[in-house]
Amino acid sequence: MDSATTPATVGDPGWAPLVDVSHRSMTELVADGDTVLARCVDRLVRSLDDPDGVISAFQNYVS
Amino acid sequence: MSIPIAVETVRAAQRRVAPWPYLELDVHQLRVAGWRPTPVHDLVLKVHQRCNLACSYCYVYTQADQSWRHRPAVMSEEVWRAAVASLGRHARRHRLASVRVILHGGEPLLYGASRLGELATELRTSLPAECAVEIGLQTNGVLLDATMVQQLRQHQIMVGVSVDGIAADHDRHRVTPSGRGSFTAVRNALDLLRQPENRAIYAGVLCTVSTDTDPIACYEQLVAFDPPVIDFLLPHANWERPPWRPAGSVAPYSDWLIRIFDRWYDTASPIHVRLFEDIIILLLGGDSRSEQVGLSPSAVVVVESDGAIEQVDALKSTYAGACATGLDIRRDELDDALDDPGIVARQIGRAALPEQCLACPIHQVCGAGHYVHRYRPGAGFRNRSVYCADLQHLITHVRRRIAADIQERVARAS
């Protein structure tokens, strides 16, 4: 068995960007404390360093 | 490579009922094209096949697959030791940084604290030191008394609890075989888990969506239990057995969830809600950790009480034998399961979706929903979700809310 791979998403039909924030710093946009959005951005950034990649977990257990 | 007779027999049966993936998905060709499976990360052990509750919607006992009747009530030591050893080999072979073992049922606490503890100790001993292991269980809470909690804490076994909101709603569905509601027992269990000394093993709560209840009352009740995380599950349904919908209602499940989403989103520092956070992260361009949305590969394998290696047990809601792979944990490796077309189908992302979904701009977020909700007799699983309208409605609403939020932040920062 070889190492894990995640299906490629290159070439996917586009999902229009939500809002163009490319000229903004991340910290500027999520600097207002523990909001849902700030929390999700934080999790997203952390997931980029996950050596196993993001996988879908067993639904009938929550942690 | 020859396929063992037991496996081929199962696949032949699967091909008749679910042509996609069992007939039409060419796993060999995927491999030739460079695709490689994602190793197992979540191993679900069905340590006890029976339950002390008789919930009206339970996918194990009340739906298409009745295989629980023919399996041992209790997982033998031989089977769980084989599962632990197999997981150890799998972790070493793939150099896994972490795995999760979920003790499940039926009701896993019927297995007894002593046996659960022995299993947990063996797991931690057998897995390579560099592989972190989380051990958890999902319980109905009825047997979760102070002694049980203390023993689970001692063995660092995380505890998720299933609870369906307020007492009246919970007790309509989650009842004993004699019809008595279980809310009081569950509330007592959750009160124990909330104690500071027990919080480290409090994993969270699962709630099944019931559209004829008050969503805000449900949410507030769940919040009162102070869990680290909440998740809302859509009741298992498919194109043969669609979800119940009130007359004239197009997307009642999303209507229900949106009421909660708005309350949750407008709260400062709210409790984590897995489904909502996964949708937001998908909308932001990330990946989901949930089976309900997104296109992340599923890395879950189940070991039944008789040693059978199976697919996710929610498939029991589709047809008899839907979970089967023909493999046995005492004879076969977990890697063998990664060749099963049903397991492969859940690891290939967009390639598992029908043209209708690929033409929809939401598909990268919804991912066609939970795999089992796509089942259609005679065709299999390459269909849109039976909850398609609900998913579209919910995701569009979440998108609108976070777009407005981001725009406001941009304006403030300008």
* Share above pLDDT 70 across residues of chain B, in percent, rounded to a whole number: 100
Q: Is the pLDDT of residue A5 over 70?
A: no
Query: Chain-wide mean pLDDT for chain B?
Result: 95
Which residues of A make CB contacts under 8 Å with B? Answer: 1-7, 9, 12-16, 18-19, 21, 24, 28-30, 32-37, 39-41, 43-44, 47, 51-63
| Whether the Cβ atoms of residue B298 and residue B346 lie closer than 8 Å to each other | yes
Which range has the worst mean pLDDT, A57-61, B44-48, B191-195, B238-242? A57-61
Residue B237 CB neighbours (<10 A): 23
Distance from A40 to chain B by nearest Cα, in Å? 6
Chain A CA closest to residue B399: A18
Distance from A42 to chain B by nearest Cα, in Å? 10
Distance from B320 to chain A by nearest Cα, in Å? 20
The angle formed by the CA atoms of residues B395, B399 and B404, to the nearest 5 degrees, is 155
Chain A residues within 8 A of B100 when measuring between CB atoms: 57-58, 63
Q: In 3D, which of B115, B117, B76 has the Cα closest to residue B201?
A: B117
Using the CB atoms, write b or e for A9-43: b if 16+ within 10 Å: eeeeeeeeebbebeeeeeeebbeeeebbbbbbbeb
Q: Out of A7, A56, A60, name the one closest to residue B288 (CB).
A: A56
Chain A CA closest to residue B410: A29
Locate tokens 């951005």: which residue? A41
Distance of CA B35 to the CA centre of its chain: 25
Residue B309 or B4, more confident = B309
Angle between helix B252-265 and B215-224 (nearest 10): 50
Tell me the average pLDDT across B368-389: 97
Element (H, E) at B254: helix B252-265
Q: Out of A19, A57, A60, name the one closest to residue B407 (CB).
A: A19
Element (H, E) at B185: helix B183-194
Residue B377 CB neighbours (<10 A): 13
Query: How buried is B280 (Cβ within 10 angstroms: 0-12 exposed, 13-18 middle, 19+ buried)?
Result: buried
Instruction: Quote the pTM value.
Output: 0.93
Chain B residues within 8 A of A4 when measuring between CB atoms: 36-39, 94
> Which of A7-16, A31-40, B168-177 is modeled with the greatest confidence?
B168-177
Using the CB atoms, write b or e for B58-84: b if 16+ within 10 Å: bbbbebbbebbeebeebbeeebbbbbb
Mention every residue, 6+ apart, whose C-beta is less than 8 A from residue B69.
none
d(C-alpha A13, C-alpha A34), whole Å:
33
Residue B328 CB neighbours (<10 A): 19
Q: In 3D, which of B100, B201, B110 has the Cα closest to residue B149?
A: B201
Distance from A11 to chain B by nearest Cα, in Å? 11
Identity of the amino acid at A7 = P
Chain A residues within 8 A of B287 when measuring between CB atoms: 47, 53-54
Render pLDDT for B109-138 as a digit per residue (tens, 0 to 9).
999 999 999 999 999 999 999 999 999 999
Q: In 3D, which of B229, B236, B211, B358 has the Cα closest to residue B291?
A: B236
Element (H, E) at B46: strand B42-46
Look at A1 and B39 and tell me if their CB atoms are within 8 Å. Answer: yes
* Share above pLDDT 90 across residues of chain B, in percent, rounded to a whole number: 91
d(C-alpha B187, C-alpha B145), whole Å:
11
Render pLDDT for B283-337 as a digit per residue (tens, 0 to 9).
999 999 989 999 999 999 999 999 999 999 999 999 999 999 999 999 999 999 9
